[in-house]
């Protein structure tokens, strides 16, 4: 079975490629290496069933690519520090990337998984967020390039499903962490680990009582695999009913909540040699976002829920950062 | 002064071209004639300062077009019946149309007016809607192609303003009516007038007590003209302050509220010869949208507010439909 993975050299893309290869698939991975890195592919780049294609989804046309049984669309800068550095490129990657994948899926009858995001919920007014929630997103702010690009991509997927019966499935991915995260990702898990490894103060904004949920990467990839294994008929049966999303879309995340202070303390416990201390700073204006996934639909459809406890996932992530982070390009 | 108008043959585009020509401008009007009609251009198509270009903004490249002092981006199907018939085309028109205009404006230093819409507020949770409201929009519904396309377009405008200091101004247009509306537009004003003219029942969904606001087209065009006449320095001074939108964006609409039943009765009063009667039908699921603009910002910035009373605007619209509607292609 032949798979295409866009964003293959990214944090999640590389874990997905590895898993697909382990299951005996043939994988073509596309990445422009803007935030991805060939380092992430080292573990399997020698595998004869893996082909890496350095290319930008914005430049590719469907004619450039052969037929795939499965397509996984993960291409897009996802951390604020990266996407805000290139906002137009980010929106265009979202829009053009999904259009490319949808055209391929339509042409070849491929099954398509589109990586959407909890960011489409924005600064949510309901907690936890279920898939029927429409979100609260600013169209003209500095995060909009990512949020609105991802929202537009969902709309394209939904319309291709309605118009052409494309076998597309969307996941809205909540905060996910693990080995191969970009050390300059700028989000809290990598920040805390990097600070602890360097012996710098661990910066907590506000009093640290704000909560976050953290999904370990392997749990997410397991959801991907189960979702894509489900027959198309099951999608038709499950979605489009009253009280369900009109087209296939699932939240994937870990509903366990931890305070930022708990995360900081856990990081230090796992790095007892660290000289870092907690340092409290004023909360920036746009920070107190609280997001927590309602994963009932994924549980019901896939029998899936996250398995990896935070302490375990964090320990694996720290081990990765210890070796890799300081030599990252 | 040279102006480009996309969507020139549409209802609003044609009124805008006419006004710009009356003010002595040179106007190039672009339209693919999907919902627009050359009939709308008849009054001024012979004017030597007007050039019509039958083209689709999705196919045009910035190299295809010369330099303009002012650009008005109005291209996009806007009524549900039209945009739901071609959802992908609608989203692409929104996205590609604004990117074309932004590239032109960036290249030539043009001033740009982008026609956004009250639809970016979706099914609003606050009333009336001010520009700082983020909206409540479904990403995967049958209206999403329009709503999300228009939201994405706003994001591109905001990022071009931030990155390249493009002199762009957005208007979020609320329900607008007048002569040259498409007779098959499918929305309430044209539906009622067409039904009254044909002597058919006037269909009211629900008990008719739901309210709408109606802006006459000339009021809107007046807002466009004042907005575009304001110096760029004034935009910098006015927007981007606390409590104001980050980039230039203004609501334009008529905050006067009328019930659907009042509109129906007013239509019949203006057509005393009509044999139509009011007919009440069950309210469809997605209908009870209530939107009412907060136009404080436009008042403050432009000294603008709508002037044309509903009875007067409706009378003019009826006169137009009486002559034009039954011979519309």
Residues 90-149 of A with CB under 8 A from B: 91, 95, 120, 122-123, 125, 134-142, 144-145, 148-149
Q: Is the Cβ pair B87, A136 closer than 8 Å?
A: no
* pLDDT value of residue B290: 77
Q: Which two tokens stand for residue B207?
A: 């008990």
Q: Are strands B211-213 and B257-259 parallel, antiparallel or unpaired?
A: antiparallel
Residue B297 lies in a domain: no
Contacts across the A-B interface (CB distance below 8 Å): 107
Q: What pLDDT digit, counting tens, does each position of B9-36 carry?
A: 999 999 999 999 999 999 999 999 999 9
Mean per-residue pLDDT of chain B: 95
Do residues A174 and A57 share a domain?
Answer: yes
In this prediction, residues A53-79 reach a mean pLDDT of 97
Q: What is the DSSP letter of B284?
A: P
In a domain, A41, yes or no: yes
Instruction: Tell me what the mean pLDDT of segment A73-97 comes to.
Output: 96
Q: Is the pLDDT of residue A82 over 90?
A: yes
Omega before B128 cis (within 30°)? yes
pLDDT in tens, A172-202: 999 999 999 988 888 899 999 999 999 999 9
CATH classification at residue B317:
3.90.25.10
Q: Is residue B83 among the annotated active site residues?
A: no
User: B87-108 and A144-164 are packed helices; what angle lies between their axes, rounded to 10 degrees?
Assistant: 150
What mean pLDDT, rounded, does chain A reach? 95
Mean pLDDT of B169-184: 95
Rounded to a whole number of angstroms, the distance from the CA of A46 to the nearest CA of chain B is 40
* Residue of B85, B121, B152, B239 to mutate when probing chain A, most A C-beta within 10 A: B152
Asked, for residue A301, whether it belongs to a domain, the answer is no
Assess whether pLDDT exceeds 80 at residue B329: no
Q: What is the CATH number of the domain that holds B12?
A: 3.40.50.720
| Domain boundaries, position B315 | 188-212+256-291+308-327
CB contact under 8 A, A88 and B156: yes
Cβ contact, residue pair B152, A91, below 8 Å: yes
Clarify whether residues B13 and B95 are in a common domain.
yes
Partners of A113 in the beta sheet? Answer: A72, A169
Kindly state whether residue B261 falls inside one of the protein's structural domains.
yes
Mean pLDDT computed over A146-172? 98
Mean pLDDT for the stretch of residues A209-229: 96
The answer to whether residues B78 and B226 belong to one domain is yes
Statement to judge: residues A279 and A227 lie in one domain: no
Q: Does B317 reside within a domain?
A: yes
Same domain for A277 and A157?
Answer: no
Q: How far, in Å, CA of B231 to CA of A57, rounded? A: 39
User: CB A122 to CB B135 under 8 A?
Assistant: no
* pLDDT exceeds 70 at position B222: yes
- A23-51 average pLDDT score: 97
Same domain, B101 and B245: yes
Tell me, yes or no, whether A128 and A228 share the same domain: yes
User: Is residue B328 packed enough to be buried (19+ CB in 10 Å), middle (13-18) or exposed (0-12)?
Assistant: exposed
pTM flag (> 0.90): yes
CB-CB under 8 Å, B95 with A152: yes
Query: Among candidates A43, A281, A313, A302, which has minimal Cα distance to A178?
Result: A313
Whether residue B183 is contained in a domain is answered as: no
- What separation in angstroms does the CA of B215 have from each of B20, B119, B120, B311? 20, 15, 18, 11
- State the pLDDT at residue B323: 86
Residues B59 and B140 in one domain: yes
Examine the pLDDT at A325 and tell me if it is beyond 70. no
Per-residue model confidence (pLDDT) at position A326:
63
Judged by CB atoms closer than 8 Å, whether chains meet at A155 and B245 is answered as no
Quick one: B275 exposed, middle or buried, by C-beta within 10 A (0-12, 13-18, 19+)?
exposed
Tens of pLDDT, residue by residue over B154-175, are 999 999 999 999 999 999 999 9
- On whether residue A295 sits in a domain, the answer given is no
Do A139 and A72 lie in a common domain? yes
Confidence of residue B112 (pLDDT cuts 50, 70, 90): very high
Q: Between chains, do A148 and B154 touch, taking CB under 8 Å as contact?
A: yes
Distances (CA, A) of B275 to B195, B196, B199, B246, B313: 10, 7, 5, 52, 22
Q: Summarize the confidence of residues A286-305 as an average pLDDT.
A: 88
Q: What are the backbone dihedrals phi and psi of residue B71, each rounded to the nearest 5 degrees, phi first?
A: -125, 135
Q: Are A274 and A223 within one domain? A: no
Residue A169 banded pLDDT, cuts 50, 70, 90: very high
Q: Does residue B324 contact residue B11 with C-beta atoms inside 8 Å?
A: no
Same domain (yes/no): B54, B170: yes
**Domain presence at residue A269:** yes
pLDDT number for residue B307:
98
Of B91, B123, B156, the CB nearest to A155: B91
Model pLDDT, residue B48: 98
**Average pLDDT over every residue of A132-155:** 97
- Confidence label for B289 from pLDDT (cuts 50, 70 and 90): low
Residue A289: which pLDDT band, with cuts at 50, 70 and 90? low
Q: How many domains does chain B have?
A: 2
- Please report the pLDDT score of residue B45 as a whole number: 94
What is the structure's pLDDT at A329? 46
Q: Does A24 score more than 60 pLDDT?
A: yes
pLDDT at B130 over 90: yes
Question: Which among B125, B152, B247 has CB closest to A152?
Answer: B152
Together in a domain, A62 and A205: no
Chain A hits for B152, Cβ within 8 Å: 91, 95, 148-149, 151-152
- How much is the pLDDT for A97? 98
Q: What is the pLDDT of residues A156-165, one digit of tens each?
A: 999 999 999 9
Q: Give the DSSP H/E element, type plus range, for residue A196.
A: helix A188-198
User: Quick check: A115 and A171 in contact, CB under 8 A?
Assistant: yes
Write out pLDDT tens, residues A266-284: 999 999 999 999 999 987 7
- Among candidate residues B72, B83, B146, B227, the one labeled active-site is B146
| Cβ contact A291:A129 at 8 Å | yes
What residues of A are in contact with residue B122 (Cβ under 8 Å)?
134
């Amino acid at each position: 079975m032949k798979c295409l993975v866009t964003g293959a050299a990214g944090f999640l893309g590389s874990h997905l490629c590895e898993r697909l290869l382990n299951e005996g698939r043939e994988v073509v991975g596309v990445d422009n290496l803007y935030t991805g890195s060939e380092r992430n592919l080292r573990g399997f780049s020698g595998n004869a069933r893996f082909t890496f294609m350095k290319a930008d989804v914005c430049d590719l046309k469907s004619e450039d690519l052969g037929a795939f049984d499965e397509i996984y669309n993960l291409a897009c800068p996802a951390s604020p520090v990266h996407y805000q550095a290139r906002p137009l490129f980010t929106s265009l990657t979202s829009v053009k990337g999904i259009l490319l994948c949808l055209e391929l899926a339509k042409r070849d009858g491929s099954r398509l998984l589109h990586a959407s995001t909890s960011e489409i919920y924005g600064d949510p007014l309901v907690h936890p967020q279920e898939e029927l929630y429409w979100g609260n997103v600013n169209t003209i702010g500095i995060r909009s390039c990512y949020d609105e690009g991802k929202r537009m991509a969902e709309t394209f997927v939904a319309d291709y499903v309605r118009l052409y019966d494309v076998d597309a499935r969307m996941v809205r991915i909540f905060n996910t962490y693990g080995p191969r995260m970009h050390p300059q990702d700028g989000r809290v898990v990598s920040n805390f680990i990097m600070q602890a490894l360097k012996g710098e103060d661990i910066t907590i904004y506000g009093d640290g009582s704000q909560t976050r949920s953290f999904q370990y990467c392997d749990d997410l990839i397991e959801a991907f695999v189960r979702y894509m294994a489900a027959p198309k008929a099951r999608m038709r049966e499950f979605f489009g009913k009253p009280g369900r999303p009109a087209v296939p879309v699932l939240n994937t995340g870990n509903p366990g909540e931890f305070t930022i202070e708990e995360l900081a303390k856990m990081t230090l416990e796992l790095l007892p040699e660290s000289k870092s201390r907690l340092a409290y700073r004023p909360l920036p204006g746009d920070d107190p976002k609280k997001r927590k996934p309602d994963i009932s639909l994924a549980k019901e459809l896939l029998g899936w829920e996250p398995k990896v406890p935070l302490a375990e996932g964090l320990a694996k992530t720290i081990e990765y950062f210890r070796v890799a982070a300081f030599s990252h390009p």
